[in-house]
A and B are shown apart, each in its own frame.
Chain A
Amino acid sequence: MTAPQKPQDDLSVLLDALLAELMGMTDEQVLDTEGPSAVQARGLSMLSTAKQEAAKRRLAAAKAGLAVARAVPRSVHAGRPSAAEAKAFLREAANSGQYTMAARQLNELSDEAALALFDKYVRLGVIPHRTGDDSS
């Protein structure tokens, strides 16, 4: 018998085995005493709720993204900002609710760390990377 592969973590191994077990069981066995139509209706109802919730969240994220983009000073778009501008942007981004950042952490950031974090946001695409000839 081949030993199972190196586990990621205990619950993960259990879930992998449980899924394999469930896939090997008949529908009748997994449904147990429940009626198939009731189980499917429950699943489809969750799916419908999920569709609406995903749309709501997408809209909220788009609104928050717009608010953050508006908060970015033009000088920031034109190149690397000053430490004060970077901190102001980070504060605004944290307040927008789209990004999580502890207030304490923000207050304790050195100028260098604030600029590094700002650069990270640019790399992640949170802040559009633009060159100096920003004509928009």
Chain B
Amino acid sequence: MERPRPPDEEPLSKAEREALLGAMSPGDWARAESLARAAAYGLTDMTAEDLLQETLTDLLGENRTWRRGVHPLVTLKVAMHSIASNALKRVENAPIDQFATVSTGEEEMPEGQPPPVHAVEGRSPQDSVEGRQQLALIEQLVKGDDHAELVLMAWAMGYSGAEAQRETGLDAKQFDAARQRLLRKLRPAAALRNLK
């Protein structure tokens, strides 16, 4: 016979989920949107808004576990990453990418947009999985802004806050400014895809 779980191991109920999400501050909604922009970056069939909407729906539908005591933003981040990974796999497994523009090899890299597709794919299948493709696209976004590139690199290595600042070698003011530029750069790209 299955033993009942201790109360603190029970996943959150629908009502508890609703209450926690409904109590999120404006700052936390802004944080959730930032996470959605990064997680959805490079996806052709899902905008950041779609991703956040789908994640909220999944969580309220109790299709995803929400462990007791876990902050809503942590739960949102894990669920958004999972949904974005599935969306990426769906696109990669599809026979045709309807949004892809095949490169002639002569055009300039369009700013703030995913790069054109090359007739011969230089990335290995291993690179395509595991989110490297999305990270490479975000790298393109800040290309030419040395400080923002350093911040992104530090985050990609898993550093954040003071550690990330130390890793970049930037002073606090430079780091804050570069971080803000990087976060802003993700906005127009997400807005652009909303128009599709």
Contact = CB atoms under 8 A, between A and B. Distances in A.
Nearest to A3: B158
A17 B53 contact: no
A73 B49 CA distance: 44
B38 A18 contact: yes
B25 A40 contact: yes
Contacts of A32: 30, 180, 183-184
A75 B29 CA distance: 53
B178 to A, nearest CB: 12
Q: Is the interface of A mostly helix, strand, loop or mixed?
A: helix
Interface centre among B21, B85, B138, B152 (most CB of A within 10 A): B21
Interface in B1-47: 18, 21-22, 24-27, 29-35, 38-39
Interface string B108-141: 0000000000000000000001111011001000
Nearest to A61: B61
Interface residues of B, number: 56
A109 B154 CA distance: 49
B158 A16 contact: yes
B61 A54 contact: yes
Contact of B34 (A1, A30, A37, A47): A30
A50 B53 contact: yes
Interface residues of A, number: 43
Interface string A1-36: 100110101111111111111111011011110101
Interface of B: 18, 21-22, 24-27, 29-35, 38-39, 49, 52-53, 56-61, 73-74, 77, 80-81, 84-85, 129-132, 134-135, 138, 152, 154-161, 163-164, 166, 176, 179-180, 183-184
6 contacts: A20-B161, A32-B180, A40-B24, A43-B24, A54-B60, A54-B61
Given A19-B73, A32-B184, A39-B26, 5 more contacts: A1-B163, A5-B158, A7-B158, A10-B135, A42-B33
